[in-house]
């Protein structure tokens, strides 16, 4: 079968490692990649959640495994990618999805919160990318990082979070240019607000009894009047990691419900 005859966006024969794939956006990406024929390594701090996703994929016929991984710890990251190589013999795709959020201005952000966000959202992307690159160079593979609309525009009360996602965007461009000749592509997706279990938990903790009203307010921040879905993020990540995007690298692709044009 020639490339022209192959169904689009297929990942047959490819191995993908996805961080934070035990829930939300990461789990949606894992499911979409498995549906498109990829073998999937779920790299997850919450082993129970990651194991459940991997078991679900395996039950549907995919080759999937959960590997414990705290992305802030270099030894765990190196061990996880060594396990990917041992288990699958290769790595073609890396999705740096693991991340955490925080609400606060420069004055109201505690130093401990700043350090915690940097450790997960910035150092985690660095450590996973560094560990994966030798394998990705061998396969001429691709990286997709999950950044944020906050890396492109100012978002109120998101000082530390915006800092980390801005770093993800610039790391994306640096890796893209440094590994262009090695055949490794690197892009990032910049979503606006996405409806995940994290959002529901945030509303329950901070706005008890007002969840519906605040959810509506957060949704209307996007000009389309709703939040994105994890599946929509997964579909864009699939495109950027597929052969159909072979001419795309170093890009920050918004998924923002019209926010940038409003």
Does the structure show a pLDDT above 90 at 262?
no
Q: Could you read off the pLDDT of 43-78 as tens digits, one per residue?
A: 999 999 999 999 999 999 999 999 999 999 999 999
Considering the domain delimited by 15-192+230-253, tell me its CATH architecture. 3-Layer(aba) Sandwich (3.40)
Does the structure show a pLDDT above 80 at 198?
yes
Residue (of 47, 46, 1, 42) closest to 19 by Cα position: 42
Can you tell me the mean pLDDT for 33-38?
Answer: 98
**Per-chain mean pLDDT for the chain:** 96
The residue ranges of every structural domain in the chain are 15-192+230-253, 195-227
Which position has the higher pLDDT, 1 or 177? Answer: 177
Strands 142-146 and 39-44: unpaired
Does the structure show a pLDDT above 70 at 1?
no
Instruction: Tell me what pLDDT residue 5 has.
Output: 75
Q: Could you read off the pLDDT of 78-92 as tens digits, one per residue?
A: 999 999 999 999 999
CA distance 228 to 193: 6
Can you tell me the mean pLDDT for 152-169?
Answer: 97
Q: Could you read off the pLDDT of 91-144 as tens digits, one per residue?
A: 999 999 999 999 999 999 999 999 999 999 999 999 999 999 999 999 999 999
Q: Which two tokens stand for residue 215?
A: 């959810």
pTM above 0.75, yes or no: yes
HSE at residue 260, side-chain half, CA atoms within 13 A, is 14
Residue pair 125/117 in contact (Cβ under 8 Å)? The answer is: no
Q: Which residues are catalytic?
A: 161
Q: What percent of the chain has pLDDT over 90?
A: 95
């Amino acid at each position: 079968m020639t490339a022209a005859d192959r169904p689009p966006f297929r990942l047959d024969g490819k191995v993908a490692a996805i961080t934070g794939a035990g829930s939300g956006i990461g789990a949606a990406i894992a499911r979409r990649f498995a549906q498109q024929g990829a073998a999937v390594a779920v790299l997850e701090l919450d082993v129970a959640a990651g194991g459940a996703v991997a078991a679900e994929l395996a039950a549907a016929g995919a080759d999937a495994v959960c590997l414990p991984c705290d992305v802030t710890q270099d030894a765990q990251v190196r061990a996880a990618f060594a396990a990917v190589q041992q288990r699958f013999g290769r790595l073609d795709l890396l999705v740096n999805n693991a991340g955490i959020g925080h609400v606060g201005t420069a004055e109201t952000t505690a130093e401990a919160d700043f350090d915690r966000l940097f450790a997960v959202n910035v150092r985690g992307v660095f450590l996973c990318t560094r560990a994966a690159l030798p394998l990705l160079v061998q396969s001429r593979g691709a990286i997709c990082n999950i950044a944020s609309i906050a890396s492109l525009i100012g978002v109120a009360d998101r000082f530390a979070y915006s800092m980390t996602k801005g770093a993800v965007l610039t790391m994306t461009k640096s890796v893209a240019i440094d590994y262009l000749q090695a055949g490794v592509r690197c892009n990032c997706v910049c979503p606006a607000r996405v409806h995940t279990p994290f959002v529901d938990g945030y509303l329950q903790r901070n706005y008890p009894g007002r969840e519906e009203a605040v959810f509506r307010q957060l949704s209307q921040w996007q000009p389309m009047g709703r939040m994105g879905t994890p599946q929509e993020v997964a579909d864009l990540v699939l495109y950027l990691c597929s052969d159909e995007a072979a001419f795309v690298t170093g890009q920050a692709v918004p998924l923002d419900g019209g926010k940038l044009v409003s």
